[in-house]
Homo-oligomer: A and B are copies of this chain.
C-alpha cells in the first residue's frame, strides 16, 4: 500500500479538510491531494466526489475558494482534489508556459517524449489515486463521481466518457469541451500527443468521445457562465450539439452574467454536490 504523508489538517463545517503527499508510481514524483472527510464518517463510510482543477491550479484552489465543504458536509460525501500535473520533474520546458507542463497536465496520458514517462494524469486520476483513496480513507468502494472546472471539466468528462461504469455521475464547470478546436487544447494535445495527424487527439476530446461513444447513454451535466471570458477556448456548443445529434442526455445550465472564476463556481457548486450525492446515495 502506498504510504501517504499528512501535510495539513483543519476542521471545517464539522468535518476535516486534509492535504496529503504520496509518491506516485504513475507520475514518478511526489504528488499532493486534498481530501475533505465529512462529519458523517465518524459513523461509517461515505461516497466520494473527485474534483479536477483547471490550468495553473493545485490541490488547494477548490478547498480554499469554492466553499465545497459546506455542501459535502450537508450531503455526507468525501471530496478528493488532486493536483493538476506532475511536479518537480525538471523536464525541459516544463515551466515555460502557464498552459502546458506543470499545472497543465490536461488529465491525459502523454505519448510524446519527454512527457510520456510522467505526464499520465489520466491513469493517475482514474486508477492510482482511487486505489490510494480507497486504501486509506473510509470510502465506499465504487461509489464515486467526478467533476471539474475548465481543464478539469475536460478531465472529468474524458475520464467518465472513457470509463462509462467507473463513475456514478459527471459534471463540469466551464469545461474545455472540444480541445481539438481551441488554442489551449491544441497546444496541449500537440505537445503531449504529437500532431493531429497521428490520430490520437480524438481519444482525449469530450466532443469526439461522445461521437464514438458506445453503451448506455451517460448524462453529462454542463455548467457555463454566459460572461465567461474564455468561451472561445471552451466551445460548449460543440459538445451540446454533438450530444443532441447522438442522443446523449445533457443537463446544460447557462448562468447569466457569471465568468470563469471561483466566484462563479462557489455560487453553484452546491447544486453539483447535490446532483452527485443523489446519484451516489441512491
> Measuring CB to CB, which residues of chain A are less than 8 angstroms from any residue of chain B?
10-14, 17, 64-65, 67, 69-70, 225, 227, 257-259, 261-264, 266-267
Q: Is the interface of A mostly helix, strand, loop or mixed?
A: mixed
Contacts A65-B64, A65-B65 given; does A11 touch B266 at CB 8 Å: no
Closest residue of B by beta carbon distance from A14: B267
Given contact pairs A17-B263, A67-B67, A70-B266, enumerate 6 new A-B contacts (beta carbons under 8 Å): A10-B264, A11-B227, A11-B264, A12-B263, A65-B65, A69-B266
Which B residues are in CB contact (< 8 Å) with A257? 11
Q: Is the CB of A13 within 8 A of B69?
A: no
Distance in angstroms from A13 CB to nearest chain B CB is 5
Bound form: Cα–Cα A257–B15 in Å: 10
Which B residues are in CB contact (< 8 Å) with A261? 10
Closest residue of B by beta carbon distance from A12: B263
The number of times this chain is found in the oligomer is 2
Which B residues are in CB contact (< 8 Å) with A266? 12-13, 67, 69-70
Distance in angstroms from A16 CB to nearest chain B CB is 9
Bound form: Cα–Cα A65–B11 in Å: 14
The residue from B10, B225, B259, B267 contacting A263, defined by CB atoms under 8 A apart: B10
Distance in angstroms from A271 CB to nearest chain B CB is 12
Sampled A-B contacts (9; CB under 8 Å): A11-B225, A11-B227, A12-B263, A13-B266, A64-B262, A67-B70, A67-B266, A69-B263, A69-B266
Which B residues are in CB contact (< 8 Å) with A264? 10-12
Distance in angstroms from A60 CB to nearest chain B CB is 11
Bound form: Cα–Cα A263–B65 in Å: 10
- By Cβ-Cβ distance, the 10 closest A-B pairs, closest first, are A12-B263, A10-B263, A67-B67, A11-B257, A11-B258, A13-B267, A10-B261, A12-B267, A64-B65, A17-B263
Closest residue of B by beta carbon distance from A265: B12
Which B residues are in CB contact (< 8 Å) with A262? 64
Distance in angstroms from A11 CB to nearest chain B CB is 5
Which B residues are in CB contact (< 8 Å) with A69? 263, 266
Bound form: Cα–Cα A17–B69 in Å: 21
Which B residues are in CB contact (< 8 Å) with A259? 10-11
Distance in angstroms from A273 CB to nearest chain B CB is 14
Bound form: Cα–Cα A12–B268 in Å: 9
Between A11, A65, A70, A261, the greatest number of chain B beta carbons within 10 A of the residue's beta carbon is seen for A11
Closest residue of B by beta carbon distance from A270: B70
The residue from B14, B67, B263 contacting A11, defined by CB atoms under 8 A apart: B263
Bound form: Cα–Cα A262–B259 in Å: 24
Closest residue of B by beta carbon distance from A13: B267
Bound form: Cα–Cα A11–B63 in Å: 20
Which B residues are in CB contact (< 8 Å) with A65? 64-65
